[in-house]
Amino acid sequence: MLLPPLGHDEYATLLAEVVAESMPRLFAVVQEVGDREDGWVAAWGLAFDDRAEVVPYGRGVRMSLPSAENALRYFGRGGGVRASLHWIGS
């Protein structure tokens, strides 16, 4: 049995729910040196349920990783530079 088509408002509400349920979380990868000496955004990312997409700020290669936390190994290089995740809107 076919259901009657949704009205415009009902359809818009349904789509809004689908968007909200599938929305990735936005994060920044921040690099820091010293004890509060300097810090900068090294990359931006989108965390999905099954992966994270990371785009370096400026030049670099986009990465698809198993999780946002995996980005830290690429941006937390030696020489006193450490990396951390900063979740946007959390």
DSSP 36: T
Instruction: List pLDDT tens digits, range 46-83.
Output: 999 999 999 999 888 999 999 999 999 999 877 889 99
pLDDT at 36 over 90: no
Say yes or no to pLDDT of 1 above 80.
no
pTM over 0.85: no
Give me 45's structure tokens: 């990312």
Classify residue 54 by burial, with Cβ atoms within 10 Å: 0-12, 13-18, 19+. Answer: buried
Nearest to 49 by CA among 86, 73, 22, 27: 22
Give the pLDDT score at 80: 86
What is the pLDDT averaged over residues 25-34?
A: 96
pLDDT-derived band at 24 (thresholds 50, 70, 90) equals very high
